[in-house]
């Protein structure tokens, strides 16, 4: 009887060790999978930010004339006018435009920055809508040129796009 109890105890210990190892393996697997999913989600958010930046560069409202076949030039006068319209305090004037660009851009901040090379530094806040809840953000910088049709000059500029996503808890 004593020998049977020892064998039962050994068998029980083996089962407990195997269950313990199985639990450690499951925890490790799910933590590795969660890290991989976070990385993939961040990659997708960056891709969406790049798409948003390309959409801004392709807008006829800010794009240079027909000579800009590549679509990487921004017209300074068009940009200033659109920025004033979207950031105006008179909401009756820009409500339809705000609704259109709100659907187009979503939760984002879109700025065009001109470094102080060949002139003063400038910053145009084209669009800004940040959700009230907790967010994660993805930022992209795309270099372009800012064309001044009055002086017919081009300056280096970069498009600063910050896209916000609401964090699900």
pLDDT tens by residue, 24-33? 999 988 888 8
Choose among 63, 45, 59: nearest CA to 137.
45
Are the CB atoms for 102 and 12 separated by under 8 Å? Answer: no
153-166: strand order across its sheet: 73-75, 135-148, 153-166, 108-114, 122-129
Residue 107 neighbours by CB under 8 Å, 6+ apart:
129, 130, 131, 135, 163, 164, 165, 166
Residue 93: domain span = 47-166
Q: Which pLDDT score, from 0 to 100, does residue 47 have?
A: 87
What pTM was estimated for this model as a whole? 0.72
Number of Cβ atoms within 10 Å of the Cβ of 122: 16
Residue 15 in any domain: the answer is no
Residue 133 in any domain: the answer is yes
Q: Which pLDDT score, from 0 to 100, does residue 70 have?
A: 55
Residue 100 in any domain: the answer is yes
Instruction: Count structural domains, the chain.
Output: 1
What percentage of the chain carries pLDDT values higher than 90? 11
Residue 6 in any domain: the answer is no
Residue 158 in any domain: the answer is yes
Q: Could you give the 3-state DSSP secondary structure of residue 12?
A: helix
Confidence of residue 117 (pLDDT cuts 50, 70, 90): confident
Q: Which pLDDT score, from 0 to 100, does residue 16 have?
A: 92
Q: Which pLDDT score, from 0 to 100, does residue 24 have?
A: 92
Confidence of residue 127 (pLDDT cuts 50, 70, 90): confident
Residue 41 in any domain: the answer is no
Q: Which pLDDT score, from 0 to 100, does residue 66 have?
A: 60
Residue 147 in any domain: the answer is yes
Residue 52 in any domain: the answer is yes
């Amino acid at each position: 009887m004593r020998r049977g109890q020892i064998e039962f105890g050994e068998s029980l210990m083996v089962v407990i060790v195997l269950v313990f190892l199985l639990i450690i393996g499951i925890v490790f697997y799910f933590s590795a999978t969660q890290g991989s999913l976070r990385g993939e989600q961040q990659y997708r958010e960056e891709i969406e930010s790049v798409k948003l930046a390309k959409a801004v560069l392709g807008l006829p409202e800010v794009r240079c004339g027909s000579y800009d076949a590549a679509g990487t030039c921004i017209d300074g006068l068009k940009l200033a006018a659109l920025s004033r319209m979207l950031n105006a305090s008179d909401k009756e004037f820009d409500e339809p435009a705000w609704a259109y660009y709100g659907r187009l851009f979503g939760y984002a901040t879109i700025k065009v920055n001109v470094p102080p090379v060949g002139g003063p530094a400038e910053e145009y806040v084209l669009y800004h809508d940040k959700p009230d809840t907790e967010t994660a953000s993805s930022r992209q910088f795309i270099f372009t040129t800012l064309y001044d049709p009055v002086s017919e000059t081009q300056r280096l500029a970069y498009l600063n796009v910050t896209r916000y996503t609401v964090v699900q808890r």
